[in-house]
């Protein structure tokens, strides 16, 4: 099938989490070279595109990342509107930023539920390069994921690239599968 015959669809994915946890860096790492970035001041979002092709359709993923958190409260409805999936990023670094970013995951989840309903949410535990990975209690993290109905967690580093492609590709696979399931 030629590109022009393919069904085309845009899929919005919001990427949230506390300031400084690495949201922008993760998106940049994944979309390296192939992405166009746009900055929309009025809705406080930076948007990165990523095209996924299959035989019959082309999905254009739009990753929405908060551009500065200052006025976010007022921008929330438009920021979240029509998202098909969300990624909540926290930082594994062993300091205040890291701890707070983990504690705030549930606040971000509440936001997603309020504005997007029951969409899949992935957790990215980022900046693993700053710690000894053995210190991450993976069984405990998995329990947390199950308890709060997140889809899956990934351990990532935007700096070294560890886990980044695996994490985003899991999401892409899931979104592709959803397309297949609803196609006739």
Q: Contact residues for ligand GTP (CB under 6 A)?
A: 19-25, 66, 69, 126-127, 129-130, 157-159
Residue 39 has which token pair? 């900055």
Q: In the complex, what is the shortest distance from the CB of residue 78 to ligand GTP, in angstroms, rounded to a whole number?
A: 17
Q: In the complex, what is the shortest distance from the CB of residue 100 to ligand GTP, in angstroms, rounded to a whole number?
A: 13
- What percent of the chain is helix, strand and coil (3-state, nearest 5)? 45, 30, 30
Q: Tell me whether residue 145 or residue 159 sits nearer to ligand GTP (CB atom).
A: 159
CA distances from 103 to 23, 79, 108, 109, 143 (A): 17, 22, 10, 11, 15
Q: Tell me whether residue 141 or residue 159 sits nearer to ligand GTP (CB atom).
A: 159
Q: In the complex, what is the shortest distance from the CB of residue 104 to ligand GTP, in angstroms, rounded to a whole number?
A: 12
Q: Tell me whether residue 150 or residue 154 sits nearer to ligand GTP (CB atom).
A: 154
Residue 122 has which token pair? 């992935």
Residue ranges of the alpha helices (H) in 55-163? 72-80, 96-103, 105-116, 138-147
Q: In the complex, what is the shortest distance from the CB of residue 40 to ligand GTP, in angstroms, rounded to a whole number?
A: 14
Q: Tell me whether residue 83 or residue 157 sits nearer to ligand GTP (CB atom).
A: 157
């Amino acid at each position: 099938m030629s590109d022009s015959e393919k069904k085309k669809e845009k899929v919005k994915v919001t990427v949230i989490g506390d300031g400084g946890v690495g949201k922008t860096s993760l998106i940049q790492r994944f979309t390296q070279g192939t992405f166009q970035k746009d900055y929309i001041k009025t809705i406080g979002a930076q948007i990165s595109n990523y095209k996924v092709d299959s035989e019959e359709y082309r999905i254009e993923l739009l990753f929405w990342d908060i551009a500065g958190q200052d006025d976010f409260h007022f921008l929330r409805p438009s920021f979240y509107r029509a998202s098909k999936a969300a990624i909540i990023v926290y930082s594994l670094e062993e300091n205040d930023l890291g701890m707070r970013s983990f504690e705030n995951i549930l606040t971000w989840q509440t936001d997603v539920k309020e504005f997007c309903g029951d969409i899949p949410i992935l957790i990215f535990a980022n900046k693993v390069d700053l710690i000894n990975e053995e210190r991450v209690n993976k069984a405990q993290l998995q329990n947390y994921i199950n308890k709060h109905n997140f889809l899956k967690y990934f351990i990532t580093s935007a700096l070294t690239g560890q886990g980044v492609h695996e994490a985003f590709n899991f999401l892409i696979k899931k979104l592709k599968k959803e397309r297949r399931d609803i196609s006739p």
